[in-house]
Amino acid sequence: MKTVFVLNGPNLNLLGVREPATYGSATLAHIETRLRALAGPQGVEIVFRQSNSEGDLVTWIQEAGQAGAPVILNAGAYTHTSIAIHDAIRGAKAEVVEVHLSNTHAREEFRHHSYISPVAKGVILGFGARSYELALQSLFPSQ
């Protein structure tokens, strides 16, 4: 069975409550349920995790890289600040699709730069919860 890690950074545990005009009304649990429903019939196992701690994300990226499992990563605000996550992706040779619920380029200037994008396979942003589904489809296009 193929495995994909879906890793979520700070404040994503507040989805559905935090700024729904920006992030939508879907909760993180809803996103997880939807991804599992899409992945299961295709023989893809989902490892779904969320942490507000940068170090957890680094460890999980390394774990995925060592397992040869691709990663769907919404690093939240760490996208714009974390050289450690950038280095983990590069060092673990993890195949990462960077996702964002909102269009970060239509928001504050500080959100326009990503430390993840240069080491990611691709970036999907601005499609709300569907961004995760598009990322999953991009990793397993023939399925």
Question: Which CATH number goes with the domain that contains 61?
Answer: 3.40.50.9100
Q: Give the residue among 71, 78, 64, 107 at the shortest CA–CA distance from 12.
A: 78
Average pLDDT over residues 82-105: 93
Tell me, yes or no, if 100 is annotated catalytic: yes
Average pLDDT, the chain: 90
Overall domain count for the chain: 1
Residue 40 in this model has a pLDDT that exceeds 60: yes
Of 23, 78, 115, 132, catalytic: 23
Residue 3 is predicted with a pLDDT of 97
User: Could you identify the residue written with the tokens 């990503």?
Assistant: 114
> Please, which residues have CB within 8 angstroms of residue 49's CB and are 6 or more apart in sequence?
5, 6, 7, 8, 56, 60
Band (pLDDT 50/70/90 cuts) for residue 48 is: very high
Of 78, 86, 100, 132, catalytic: 100
Residue 143 in this model has a pLDDT that exceeds 60: no
Residue 22 is predicted with a pLDDT of 59
Average pLDDT over residues 105-117: 77
Domain around 21:
2-139
